[in-house]
A = this chain, B = another copy of it.
Amino acid sequence: MARTTPQTHGEILAAAARRFAATGYRGTSLQDIATEVGCSKAAVLYHFANKEAILTALMAPAIEVLRSLDDRISAQPGPAAAQRVAAEGFVDLAVRFRSEIALLRGEFPELLQQPVFAHIQQISERLIDALAGQSARASARITALVLLAGIAETCGEFADVPDQELGDALLALLRRALEPPVH
């Protein structure tokens, strides 16, 4: 059963992604991942310090893109421009990283409290502000939060829809649904 290939690291990541997507982060044990890879649980923990490190490695690229989107939104001159950039950027992120986002499905609240995702919560609040057109109206904030959560929660379901089509549908939805900023 000894594996001579040192590519186990990548195999573990791929297996973990499949299991997390199927049964969630909490619902997946290290033994589940090890079984899927075909190695021992100890081998998994040889390549990764702990279970959280596996999730971190899987989410790192998406988090980096989210961070840069946050910077771009902050650099916009006004609420209207910020809303447009936020909508387009978030849809692009959701489409490109839908499989990664799907890993977090239903566990956003708990997972966001882990130190790795410490900044994400603040970023998502700024994202909601931008989508709501910096408006303090309750309806604008409700709309923004529903759309943000809805897209994040469901984008993983559309694995069979082409990027272009999914992106167009989501962007059209945001354009119809978001309330224009008061000026």
Contact = CB atoms under 8 A, between A and B. Distances in A.
A156 to B, nearest CB: 10
Contacts of A157: 145
Copies in the complex: 2
Contacts of A26: 26-27
Contact of A146 (B108, B143, B150): B150
Nearest to A145: B154
A107 B172 CA distance: 28
Contacts of A105: 106, 109
A153 interface: yes
A139 B154 contact: no
A118 interface: no
Interface in A115-174: 138-139, 142-143, 145-151, 153-154, 157-158, 161, 165-166, 168-170, 172-173
A110 interface: yes
14 contacts: A23-B110, A24-B109, A106-B106, A106-B108, A138-B165, A139-B169, A142-B158, A142-B173, A146-B150, A146-B151, A146-B170, A149-B153, A149-B154, A150-B153
Given A105-B109, A150-B150, 13 more contacts: A105-B106, A106-B108, A138-B165, A139-B172, A142-B158, A142-B161, A142-B173, A145-B150, A145-B154, A146-B154, A150-B153, A173-B177, A176-B177
